[in-house]
Amino acid sequence: MKIAIISASARPGRQSHQVALEVKKRIDKLSIDSWLWDVKETNLPLLDYTFDSHPSPGETLKNLKSRLDETNVFLIVSPEHNGSYPGSLKNSMDYFFQEYSEKVFGIVSVSAGMLGGISAAKNLQQYANTLQGIVYPPYLITPKVQNLFSDGVLSDDGYAGRMDKFLKGFLALAKKLQ
């Protein structure tokens, strides 16, 4: 099993990225092959051609395509922006389609507010279904993210427990479907 953890925000000071790094750390401790797709770092231009129709995809797209082909599980960590997930995520993921088909998706949403990005999570479940992915039904919401970390270290035991429970169930489904 190879998991791509997608850090969905490209904004400066993004707090959802801390959550993505924490997820990656916990998955790495389980000796599961994973990689971090940071949409901010990838910095793909506005979508004009999908990879399959692109007249001359650059090295960044070719390398990303290769990594996506090797990946069979996706875990999206996304903030909520105006009631949905960020355009940076949609733009980055829309370069590809068949690379997601029949692969397992998990959703972690992040918000500074009380609801933890639940609207983004619901919209991402629908998006993953549209990509013909197999969506793990529960999602992990992350409310008040600004209070969960201290100097980049997860300091909220309650949230850590919820994350562990979510990852356990998500990884169990992913393994069953391999």
Q: Judge whether 105 and 133 are in contact, CB under 8 Å.
A: yes
Mean pLDDT for the stretch of residues 103-127: 97
Return the structure tokens found at 12.
Answer: 């400066």
Instruction: Give the residue from 147, 136, 144, 141 showing the smallest Cα distance to 163.
Output: 141
Q: What angle separates helix 16-29 from helix 157-176, to the nearest 10 degrees? A: 60
Mean pLDDT for the stretch of residues 132-156: 96
pLDDT, tens digit (0-9, with 9 covering 90-100), for 149-175: 998 899 999 999 999 999 999 999 999
DSSP SS3 for 25: helix
Q: What is the radius of gyration, based on Cα positions, of the chain?
A: 15
pLDDT, tens digit (0-9, with 9 covering 90-100), for 6-24: 999 999 989 999 999 999 9
At residue 18, the pLDDT reads 96
pLDDT, tens digit (0-9, with 9 covering 90-100), for 59-114: 999 999 999 999 999 999 999 999 999 999 999 999 999 999 999 999 999 999 99
DSSP SS3 for 37: strand
Domain boundaries, given as residue ranges, for the chain? 2-176
At residue 126, the pLDDT reads 97
Percent of the chain, pLDDT > 70? 100
Give the predicted TM-score (pTM) of the model. Answer: 0.96
At residue 75, the pLDDT reads 98
At residue 167, the pLDDT reads 98
Is residue 135 over pLDDT 90?
yes
Phi-psi label, residue 151: left if phi above 0, alpha if psi -120 to 50, beta otherwise = left
Q: Which CATH number is associated with domain 2-176? A: 3.40.50.360
DSSP SS3 for 119: helix
At residue 178, the pLDDT reads 84
Write phi, then psi, for 143 (nearest 5 degrees). Answer: -80, 155
